[in-house]
């Protein structure tokens, strides 16, 4: 498993928490940061998936 997948999942979780805190407190800036973190985490996870796919292709 590529480290980008793990880090991406962590960023998504962090973003979800930030977004929820922003919603509860009414802080639109924190909410937007949370959404951005989630998006960044999804992208990083996709990179990790691609790396894993390439690695698996060459191992087989």
Q: What is the 3-state secondary structure (H, E, C) of 14-30?
A: HHHHHHHHHHHHCCHHH
pLDDT value at residue 14: 98
Q: Which residue carries 């790396």 as its tokens? A: 51
Q: Determine the average pLDDT of the residues in 4-16.
A: 96
Per-residue pLDDT reduced to its tens digit, 15-26: 999 999 999 999
pLDDT value at residue 2: 83
pLDDT value at residue 32: 98
Task: Report in angstroms the alpha-carbon separations of 40 from 9, 17, 28, 45, 48.
Answer: 10, 14, 18, 9, 12
Element at 13 (helix H, strand E) = helix 3-25
Element at 38 (helix H, strand E) = helix 28-59
């Amino acid at each position: 498993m590529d480290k980008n997948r793990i880090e991406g999942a962590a960023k998504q979780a962090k973003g979800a928490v930030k977004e929820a805190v922003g919603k509860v407190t009414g802080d639109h800036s924190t909410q937007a940061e949370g959404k951005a973190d989630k998006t960044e985490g999804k992208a990083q996870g996709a990179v990790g998936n691609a790396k894993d796919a390439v690695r698996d292709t060459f191992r087989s």
